[in-house]
Amino acid sequence: MFRWRGAGVSRLEGFADAVFAFTLTLLVVALEVPRNYDDLMKVFQDFPAFVATFAMVMWFWTTHYIFFRRYGLEDIWTRFYNAAILLCVVFLAYPLKFIFTSAFAAMFGIGAESNGIQTMAELSQLYIVYGAGLATVCFAYLLLYLHAYRLRKALHLNETEIIITQGSISRILINIAVCLVSIVLAQQERHVVLPGIIYCSLGPLVGINGWWHGTRAVKAFDAGRSRHGKPSTAA
């Protein structure tokens, strides 16, 4: 229901793809080549944390890809927000890997020897770093989507596309809000798992947001087809 305005891969997207690929390469290079059986087992133990970090980077890339396919913007503000996103993604590569390694070690005993969390204060700081990092990336995406929303008339977004854009903005705001709640809980240093468990609320909240805006978008799309007697430009 959204007409893609990004006709091809621009230089801006090409540069972004190279940065995302470089970030994933950093994660691979960080893995030492096993020299004995124990080293090999350690690589396998660290694999779940690597997968989780890889998934996070791919989530950032997918959000980036969808934005440029939908709106095809390349103006100065888009370039600036894009640069901020790439800066955050590259900087957070190793912290994310450490966070997920520590989490799998604490919860499942996987890769326990690499677990650097010793005190409650360190655990709280870990929650704060993760929440702040994720919120920062989401905030950069929020600025990007708000910029596209401000240009909705210039982009000739129809009613359906505007609703979908609003849904994307709301989804990002939900992510930021949950991150901030986690940071507040972590600062109290009284909760061991609650600052992490709070992220489980993202699934239901994002699902409700998607259902609400998706229902409105479908109604607007069907209304547009009824008015024109044919599929609207969002098809």
Higher pLDDT, 235 or 95: 95
Overall average pLDDT of the 169-188 stretch = 94
Over residues 217-230, the mean pLDDT reads 81
Q: What is the pLDDT of residue 232?
A: 46
Q: Could you report the per-residue pLDDT of 135-165, keeping only the tens digit for each?
A: 999 999 999 999 999 999 999 999 999 999 9
pLDDT, tens digit (0-9, with 9 covering 90-100), for 46-98: 788 888 889 999 999 999 999 999 999 999 999 999 999 999 999 888 888 88
Mean pLDDT on 34-48: 74
Q: Are 3 and 233 in contact (CB under 8 A)?
A: yes
Stated pTM of the model: 0.84
Residue 41 predicted with pLDDT over 80: no
Q: What is the mean pLDDT of the chain?
A: 85
pLDDT, one tens digit per residue, over 186-219 is 888 676 778 888 999 999 999 999 999 999 999 9
pLDDT of the residue at 230: 55
Query: What was the pLDDT predicted at 109?
Result: 67
pLDDT at 233: 47
Give the C-alpha separation, 201 to 68, whole Å. Answer: 28
Quick one: pLDDT at residue 235? 37
Residue 42 has pLDDT above 80, yes or no: no
